[in-house]
Amino acid sequence: MDTVNRALHDSTNKPSVISISWGEPESTWSSQSISAFNDVLQSAAALGVTVCAASGDSGSSDGVDDGADHVDFPASSPYVLGCGGTSLSASGAGITQEVVWNDGDQGGAGGGGVSGVLALPVWQKGLSAFD
């Protein structure tokens, strides 16, 4: 959180994008930590800085072994662009297929989903998930 805040207010480099390549299931964060970090992320959005964060590598479980769906924070923040891997098939004419990254039997898969901790932002209300 401190590192993101420092980068956000770096008057020498003045970043327009901050990339976070890590995260943890929301359930491993304290509510105080999520709230404090989310405040920093909201400041980034207000300053016009895009924050990208990894959506996780353990599919819908996010590595939690309880049979429920989990999402990675900070990617689950409404002020962050959650980024996950995809597999592409291409030809000379361009991309012919793109699907979410999933190693199947190897165990890795892209994460994602809706926060169980943070309120759904106004700009997402009324949307529905799809397969």
Q: Along the 131 residues of the chain, how does pLDDT read in single tens digits? A: 899 999 999 999 999 999 999 999 999 999 999 999 999 999 999 999 999 999 988 888 888 999 888 999 999 999 999 998 888 899 998 999 988 888 877 768 888 888 999 988 888 787 765 54
Q: For residues 14 and 34, give the distance between their C-alpha atoms in angstroms, rounded to a whole number.
A: 25
User: Do β-strands 50-54 and 86-91 pair in parallel, antiparallel, or remain unpaired?
Assistant: unpaired
Answer yes or no: are the C-beta atoms of 71 and 65 closer than 8 Å.
no
Domain extents for the chain? 2-121
Query: What per-residue confidence (pLDDT) applies to 61?
Result: 86
Residue holding tokens 């994008």? 17
The pTM assigned to this predicted structure is: 0.83
Neighbours of 10 (CB within 10 A): 11
Per-residue confidence (pLDDT) for residue 111, from 0 to 100: 86
Is 42:4 a contact under the CB 8 Å cutoff?
A: no
Q: Which pLDDT belongs to residue 129? A: 59
Q: Which residue has the tokens 């993101």?
A: 4
- DSSP 8-state code for residue 111: -
Which pLDDT value is given to residue 131? 43
